[in-house]
Amino acid sequence: MKKNFNGWLNIYKEKGETSFSVSKALKKKFKFKKVGHLGTLDPLAKGVLPIAVGEATKSIKFISNLKKRYSFVIKWGEETDTCDLEGEVVEKSNVRPNFEKVKMVVSKFFIGSIEQTPPIYSAVKVNGIRAYKLARNKKNVKLKKKLIHIYKLTVKKPSNKNFCNFDIICSRGTYIRSIARDLARKLGTVGFAHEIVRTEDNIFKIENSISLLKVLDLSYADLEKVYFPIECVLSDAQEIILEKKYSDKLKDGIIINSKLIDKKINSENKLILVKNNSKLVCIANLEKENIIPRRNFNL
């Protein structure tokens, strides 16, 4: 396999690894020039971390399916400054909410669009500085609330009164640690995220993920067996296969009138994947009758 690898890897990030350390290790081992990912995972979180390699990094800004799914565990009775297991306990409570009350509060206050304040130990920037750096230096950190969307939040009946398990489908940018903190407070107690596992991100699922260590043991030839094609994350885009004379024009930045092409194009779907034979040429937008090139792929 050539070293100019282009595609996606569905990495299972282990607890303790960072999104940056995973990307760095892959670049070093396989000499990748460009690496990106769909969303940062906290060091203490584990699970699905989709990694874009080479030309696949160009597709990230066009992805519309940004739903993510997590399973997580809240420990009741303690709140930490990091909202997870790593932090210092800042508040305690003897209150342990019952299962029916948890379900009621979740359905009433934690479904749909809600405002959320990120944890102070997060990568959010305050005047150009990461919030966690300010927090570590004991600076007073005030973060703005942000709008997120929770599509589904399921509570699983606990076997231990001190813990409760959840499954959530949410929008990009949702902090599970903040969900744990805010839900506990709404229930009249305190709590933190004891465990977080990302189980789905876009089309990537935990069942077909592969650990970083296993990937680093692979050869280039073996890597081809576990990668996903660039366009897999753009399943909502329509695909059109054009003759070379038309695909070359788009690649040169020339706008093409869709009436010139003997192809059926869905006018409702504005995002287009342009191919010549099976080769991905560019991403384009359909505006009125015009196909406007947005991003070329050098494959």
Say yes or no: 109 and 174 in one domain. Answer: yes
In a domain, 100, yes or no: yes
Q: Is the pLDDT of residue 126 over 90?
A: no
pTM: 0.90
Query: What is the rounded distance in angstroms from the CA atom of residue 282 to the CA atom of residue 53?
Result: 17
Pairwise CA distance, residues 55 & 58, whole Å: 6
Q: Which helix (H) or strand (E) holds 78?
A: strand 78-80
Angle at the Cα of 201 from the Cα atoms of 198 and 66, rounded to 5 degrees: 125
Instruction: Give the domain range for residue 255.
Output: 238-296
Q: What pLDDT is attached to residue 289?
A: 85
Angle subtended at Cα 182 by Cα 179 and Cα 146, rounded to the nearest 5 degrees: 65
Same domain for 160 and 226, yes or no, is no
Tokens at residue 250, please? 């788009």
Q: Which of 283, 262, 288, 258 is nearest to 273 (CA)?
A: 283
Residue 221's pLDDT is what? 87
Give the count of domains, the chain: 3
Same domain as 87, residue 73: yes
Assess if residue 212 is contained within a domain: yes
pLDDT of 139:
77
pLDDT higher at 299 or 185: 185
Catalytic, 84? Answer no
Angle at 201 between CA 40 and CA 25, to 5 degrees: 45
Q: Tell me the mean pLDDT in the region 26-33.
A: 93
Q: Strand pairing partners for 147?
A: 115
Do residues 103 and 139 both lie within one domain?
Answer: yes
Which residue in 97, 93, 89 sits closest to 194, CA to CA? 89
Select from 187, 182, 188, 209 the least CA-distant residue to 198.
209
Q: Is residue 169 in some structural domain?
A: yes
What percent of the chain has pLDDT above 70?
99
Segment 243-292, tens digit of pLDDT: 899 999 999 999 998 877 777 777 777 899 999 988 999 999 988 888 99
Residue pair 134/141 in contact by the 8 Å Cβ criterion: yes
Q: Is there a single domain that holds both residue 72 and residue 184? A: yes
The answer on 105 and 229 residing in a single domain is no
Query: Does 265 lie in the same domain as 229?
Result: no
pLDDT of residue 236: 87
Q: Are residues 261 and 210 both part of a single domain? A: no
Does a structural domain hold residue 194? yes
* 240, 275 contact by CB (below 8 A): yes
Q: What is the DSSP string of 113-136?
A: EEEEPPPSSSS-EETTEEHHHHHH
What is the phi/psi pair of residue 129, to 5°? -115, 135
State pLDDT tens for residues 154-212: 999 888 999 999 999 999 999 999 999 999 999 999 999 999 999 999 999 999 999 99
Q: Cβ of 33: how many Cβ atoms within 10 Å?
A: 11
Choose one of 233, 250, 280: the last residue of a domain: 233
- Percent of the chain at pLDDT above 90? 70
CA-based nearest residue to 280, from 264, 297, 292: 297
- Report which listed range, 96-105, 119-128, 281-290, is most confident: 96-105
Do 99 and 215 sit in the same domain of this protein?
Answer: no
Q: Are residues 265 and 155 in the same domain?
A: no
How confident is residue 3, by pLDDT bands cut at 50, 70 and 90? low
What is the residue type of 39? G
The pLDDT-based confidence of 50 (bands split at 50, 70, 90) is: very high
DSSP summary character for residue 228: B
Q: Which amino acid, residue 13? A: K
Residues 81-95 have a mean pLDDT of 95
Residue 2 lies in a domain: no
Q: Does residue 231 surpass a pLDDT of 70?
A: yes
Q: What is the pLDDT of residue 27?
A: 94
Task: Give the dihedral sign, CA 82/84/89/90.
Answer: positive
pLDDT score at 71: 98
Looking at residue 1, its pLDDT comes to: 44
15 lies in some domain: yes
Separation CA 60–CA 37 (nearest Å): 8
Return the pLDDT at 28: 94
Task: Examine the domain organization and report whether 119 and 173 are in the same domain.
Answer: yes
Q: Which residues, 6 or more positions from 46, have their beta carbon under 8 angstroms from its beta carbon?
A: 12, 13, 14, 15, 196, 197, 198
CATH code at 253? 2.30.130
Catalytic residue, from 42, 84, 182, 201: name it.
Answer: 42
Indicate the SS3 state at residue 29. Answer: helix
Please state, rounded to an integer, the average pLDDT across all residues of the chain: 92
Please indicate, yes or no, if residue 1 is contained in any of the structural domains.
Answer: no
Instruction: Say whether both 178 and 273 belong to one domain.
Output: no
For position 42, which CATH number holds? 3.30.2350.10
Helix axes 176-186, 99-109, angle to 10 degrees: 120
Residue 90 lies in a domain: yes
